[in-house]
Amino acid sequence: MSATIIDGKAIAAKVREQIAADVEKMQAEHGIVPGLAAVLVGEDPASAQYVRMKRKACEKAGIASFGHTLPVDASQEEVEALVKQLNDDPKVHGILVQLPLPKHLDEEKILSMISLHKDIDGFHPINIGRLAMKGREPLFIPCTPHGVIVLLEEAGAKLSGAEAVVLGRSNIVGLPAAMLLIHRDATVTVCHSRTKDLPAVCRKADILVAAVGRAEMVKADWVKPGAYVIDVGSNQVEDPSSDKGYRWVGDVDFEEVKEVAGALTPSPGGVGPMTIAMLLKNTLRGAELVVSGRV
Ligand code: GUN
């Protein structure tokens, strides 16, 4: 049996179309154009590429985007001053500080300085704290894990009562993905480098979310037949047959796993486009908070 391929590009395109329509309506009715400010510290090529993609997607949806690049040796004070300036700027409804930051910077302090109602990444300690608790509503949900949930729902996965296994415990993906799955009544196991017999734990999963950053680690015999598999990984591997000398692969061995899983996202073309779509959605929400007078 071959898995249904969950087309993240198509699902994200549908979400983006709706956002573009809502942005146009907001401008017509309230004269407000949602605005996103992206802060990049340093010149890490992958981070710079992600920021470019996010800004381009904003522009396509009619969202204003403001780029701020600081040098790799920018001081804590400089980054904090920029965040304060963006907090005070009425044209900015969402602030994104691209992670990881250079090691000398205090990431927790910088993220905690972003105004709660502009925290479109959902990484502010209060937003993450609310996400971690029952019956509390964060203003924003982190984009990648939110995209994972939308993909599962669009693919028809039943989350309530499902055995879900999340591979990876990062602040950006693994931990918030686990919390979102718990809120939807899945029974969740979070795996990491010290987990014993990883393949056996993964094989129990009706829903498997791979977010470890290890190229093609998840093999066919790690997957329960019929499982929903979401591949968050994006890893560069050498490929002499390609013009660039490399290609991108996920954390899941796509060719093997598609013969066992019930549904599977490709990487690229699965979670990546959804992360961007969710970021646009959160930016629109930031502007809606202003329009509705909540902030
Ligand atoms: N680095 C990798 N993923 C993300 C993300 O979703 N947001 C930010 N700000 N940085 C990231």
Residue 17 within any structural domain of the chain:
no
Average pLDDT over residues 209-235: 98
Atom 8 (ligand 1): residue with closest C-alpha? 98
Catalytic hit among 22, 119, 121, 253: 121
Looking at the structure, do residues 264 and 151 belong to the same domain, yes or no?
Answer: yes
Residue 124 within any structural domain of the chain:
no
Ligand 1 surroundings by CB, under 6 angstroms: 96-99, 121, 143-144, 172, 275
Atom 4 (ligand 1): residue with closest C-alpha? 99
Pick from 97, 98, 141 the residue to mutate for probing ligand 1's pocket: most ligand atoms within 8 Å of its CB: 98
Q: Closest ligand 1 atom to the C-alpha of 100?
A: 1
Query: Which band of pLDDT confidence, cut at 50, 70 and 90, is reported for residue 228?
Result: very high
The one-character DSSP state at 139 is: S
**Per-residue pLDDT tens over the stretch 41-72:** 999 999 999 999 999 999 999 999 999 999 99
Looking at the structure, do residues 111 and 183 belong to the same domain, yes or no?
Answer: no
Range of the domain at 107: 31-117
pLDDT at site 166: 99
- What is the 30 CA–ligand 1 centroid distance (Å)? 30
Say how many domains are in the chain: 2
List strand residue ranges (DSSP E) for the chain, in order. 4-5, 35-41, 64-70, 94-97, 163-167, 187-191, 207-210, 228-231, 235-238, 246-249, 263-264
Sign of CA pseudo-dihedral 126, 49, 267, 221: negative
- What is the 97 CA–ligand 1 centroid distance (Å)? 8
The one-character DSSP state at 95 is: E
| pLDDT tops 90 at residue 256 | yes
Looking at the structure, do residues 147 and 269 belong to the same domain, yes or no?
Answer: yes
Atom 9 (ligand 1): residue with closest C-alpha? 98
pLDDT at site 141: 98
Looking at the structure, do residues 104 and 156 belong to the same domain, yes or no?
Answer: no
Query: Which band of pLDDT confidence, cut at 50, 70 and 90, is reported for residue 2?
Result: very high
Asked which of 101, 117, 133 is the last residue of a domain, the reply is: 117
Pick from 172, 232, 234 the residue to mutate for probing ligand 1's pocket: most ligand atoms within 8 Å of its CB: 172
Looking at the structure, do residues 265 and 157 belong to the same domain, yes or no?
Answer: yes
Average pLDDT over residues 219-241: 97
pLDDT at site 174: 98
Contact 136, 127 (CB under 8 A): no
Neighbours of 166 (CB within 10 A): 32
| pLDDT tops 90 at residue 1 | no
Q: Is 121 a residue of the active site?
A: yes
Atom 2 (ligand 1): residue with closest C-alpha? 99
pLDDT at site 40: 98
Q: How far is CA 235 from CA 81, 215, 217, 293, in A?
A: 34, 6, 11, 43
What pairing do the DSSP bridges indicate for beta strands 228-231 and 235-238? Answer: unpaired
Residue 104 within any structural domain of the chain:
yes
Looking at the structure, do residues 155 and 228 belong to the same domain, yes or no?
Answer: yes
Pick from 49, 96, 107 the residue to mutate for probing ligand 1's pocket: most ligand atoms within 8 Å of its CB: 96
Query: Which band of pLDDT confidence, cut at 50, 70 and 90, is reported for residue 150?
Result: very high
pLDDT at site 239: 97
Query: Which band of pLDDT confidence, cut at 50, 70 and 90, is reported for residue 195?
Result: very high
pLDDT at site 94: 98
Report which of 123, 130, 45 is spatially closest to residue 83, judged by C-alpha positions: 123
Looking at the structure, do residues 82 and 188 belong to the same domain, yes or no?
Answer: no
Neighbours of 158 (CB within 10 A): 14
The one-character DSSP state at 238 is: E
Those residues whose C-beta lies under 8 Å from the C-beta of residue 276, and which sit 6 or more positions away, are 12, 53, 54, 57, 143
Average pLDDT over residues 174-184: 98
Report which of 44, 75, 40, 73 is spatially closest to residue 54, judged by C-alpha positions: 40
Calpha distance 154→136 (Å, rounded): 25
